Structure 1
Amino acid sequence: MAKENGVEVEGRVIETLPNATFRVELDNEHKVLAHISGRMRRNYIKILTGDRVLLELNVNDLSRGRILYRYK
């Protein structure tokens, strides 16, 4: 997924799944499956249930995305 091919949206983590995968509910109440970006993995940023996050959705498959940022 190239950076220019994504749509950025905000959401809330509702479930933690294995292999750094999360189920995220968007502000419009859609649910997507997301994994953390390499930068977050490299800097050991932890994501917990209930965290607000910034996602980049895949334009080809809007049910999958990548977590780019965790809001404080």
Structure 2
Amino acid sequence: MYKKNLFLFEGDVVKNLPNSTFLVFIEKIKKNVLCYISGKIRLNYIRIIPGDKVKIEIDKSNPNKGRIIYRMR
């Protein structure tokens, strides 16, 4: 993905799904998005559970999928 083709959003993790994917609700656009974890989060063993606030980036070409890039405290 290219950086200029991405939207950045903040959302809440709603549900854990298999293969380290998550369902994230974005309040700004009132939509659930299927997200996977970025490599940096995976390498540092950062745990994400339902209820966490996260930053995600969504590609313009496929707005139904995203990537979790940061877990907020």
Q: Same fold (TM over 0.5)?
A: yes
RMSD of aligned C-alpha atoms?
0.9
- 2:4 maps to 4
* Residue-by-residue CA offset, 1:19-59 (whole Å, 9 max, x unaligned): 11000000132000000000100111110001000000011
Q: How many percent of aligned residue pairs carry the same amino acid?
A: 43
Q: Which whole-Å CA distance do the structure 1 matches of 2:20 and 2:3 have between them?
A: 20
Alignment of 1:25-44 (within 5 A): 25-28=25-28, 29-44=30-45
Size of the aligned set, in residue pairs, is 72
TM-score (structure 2 length as normaliser)? 0.93
TM-score (structure 1 length as normaliser)? 0.94
Unaligned runs of 5+ in 2: none
Deviating above 3 A after TM superposition, structure 1's stretches of 4 or more consecutive aligned residues are: none
Unaligned runs of 5+ in 1: none
